[in-house]
Structure 1
Amino acid sequence: MASFKTLDDGDFAGKRVLVRVDLNVPMENGVVTDTTRIDRIVPTIRDLSDKGAKVILLAHFGRPKGERKAEDSLKPVVEPLARAIGRPVAFADDCIGPVAEAAVGVLANGEILLLENTRYHKGEEKNDPALVTALAKLGDTFVNDAFSAAHRAHASTEGLAHALPAYAGRTMEAELTALGKALGSPTRPVLAVVGGAKVSTKIDLLENLVSKVDILVIGGGMANTFLAAQGIDVGKSLCEHDLAETAKRILAKAKEVGCEIVLPVDGVVAREFKANAANETVPVSAIPADAMILDVGPQSIATVASRIDTAKTLLWNGPLGAFEIAPFDTATVAAAKHAAARTKAGALVSVAGGGDTVAALNHAGVADDFTYVSTAGGAFLEWLEGKELPGVKALSS
């Protein structure tokens, strides 16, 4: 992984520091409902503030597509952000121009200012040089702390990194360090657990991973597509039958490069998709025609646990079953707890990410026990797929 400068490498005292953060938080009726992303950026903001920087925060919210939409304003984030940092946060009603310039102009060293939604300007998503110039005018230095937006080459994520001296914030640094340990130069054997509903959304991911990891566990609805490709009747289970050739190609590539693929050998089946539906456990070779697989069975769970025991590095993306409804969360919770215990014992480096994955680990109560849990979603997936992220590349020194 390319080297990048961190907050330890710069002198920020008295400097106007533009900090790209991720404040695209869930909100209902103008109230933030989950502060995870706010909490993640606190160390960077406090660090810069303590160093005497004038901290100027840039962020997007929603998809206003270059128009000022009241429901996409960042103003409701100011109060929860100030509470999390434990310091006042000023707000400017624009991110460029006279309003932003006046707000930046009155900042004292150590003070914090949040600028309005960068996506209120059409040039943000187009990485328009004119917007980059207007933003750069407000700062002396750029810090990117939004790994979750690093897969987009936007004005405030990629453009600014070329216009000003650029550094990685603490969250970005932690993310890049964790990802480097997990796939850049991992301790082997490396195990990847990939689950979720559809193979179609993860073809690039699977094709990249089979050549990078030693063992690949496939679970969730995706596993059904692989089972069906091998001639197993999966009944009414979620399955992309049209991707049989893709599944076969991935299996063949794995065999060729020596990556062990682990598929379920038994499944928990039900006739309806609802909590506590009547269910039974059967071998995958005996799925009833009128039933669907909603979780992997105990034999499969034991196999996954044994592979976790042999691994030194674990990458996790996606649940093993329909973890949102009991009792079909059993396998995901069991595997997550097993991985967490191995991590706490110092035997495993565990890195997980993706929306459903974070929810599943929180549901199992072990998110804090993994080495690193990425909240980045799309950027995490693209990184796992082996794609270069523009926002990260632009930080390379």
Structure 2
Amino acid sequence: MSANLGAMPDDFHTPRPKAAHAVRATRGRLHPEAEDPARTPWQRDRDRIIHSRAFRRLQYKTQVFVFHEGDHFRTRLTHSIEVAQIARSLARMLSLDEDLAEALALAHDLGHPPFGHAGEEALNACMRPHGGFDHNAQSLKHVTRLERRYAGFDGLNLCWETLEGLAKHNGPVRRPTGFIRDYDALHPLDLGTHASAEAQVAALSDDIAYNNHDLEDGLRAGIFSLEDVEELPLAGEALHAARLAHADLPRDRAAPEMVRRVIAAMIADVAAEATRRISALNPRDADEIRAAETPVVAFSEGMARRNGEIREFLFERMYRHFRVNRATQKSKRALQVLFQLLHGGPQMLPDPWRGWAGRAGTPECAQVVCDYIAGMTDRFALEEYRRLTDPHAVG
């Protein structure tokens, strides 16, 4: 079955009536606040996320390439903005709450440590004796505890629906551990169910943006070529369609044109599949979406297979490329050394982290050191590594 690589559906820009499956009212905040007369609760959540320190740091946290390799590669910030754009488009097509979907898209990577997945693997290995490390749990921790900018509470005091979407980013959490388990005991998030349709939209938008933009970044870096990508059914079809539509298409425009068409095809596919699933379920409200046996926002079977082919291509040709492997190993080593030095010598932590860490070598100290490192940008992590390992470094 050939993917639709043309224009969006005819009614893409047509306003649709609010549906029963959209989240229509918040269950509130952990710390009660008077609502803003000019903004909905989720518009307010989105604005708090944008103004947070963790969001600003995403500018210098990378996806695959370390920050110094070039100004045009994606960072966690540009990725999050791209995910938010896709999420808003899908939410509009499905008559969902666009602001909630956008807030979740902007917040979904707040817990990522420096150096992308390499950093996550390094911290997970360091924290294995203490429950491991998971960036989804760390995102929840950032918005509920680690952000310290409001007089009345720690965190951002986001709405229940936003916190639920962050905790259940990858679906129901049947056996919660670590911070998600601890927070759920304080503020139950119904972890055993699916998240709202808006949260499902944000999660799938992440997949769409991640794979397609890694394709474009890999081409820009010269790790693989357009000829290599032509072997992929969906991307190859998109590239062929772009060349048919634009005679003598320059190579430097072929990749973004291909990616644009693949993203459009994926969005159209998700909208059609989600509409079919929601119609079959016929939910009365958002809670029936949560209680459904399977997600209502998903790729069709054919598109899921094509998306998997792109993912497999990227794993084989990009994520395992020797240049990426070298950067990965150096990044892991830097974070592991930082963790070992600070866990064994928390007196080297700056204020106020030193006071929070307590006694060297304890699980409590390990958690504080992990939080400190996870909040670093790539640039700060490398500089901190140099300060702690170079005898001639100052500071």
TM-score by structure 2 length? 0.23
More helix by share: 2
Higher radius of gyration, 1 or 2 = 1
Report 1 or 2 for greater relative contact order, CA contacts < 8 Å, sequence distance ≥ 6: 2
> Hey, which of these two has a bigger chunk of strand by percent?
1
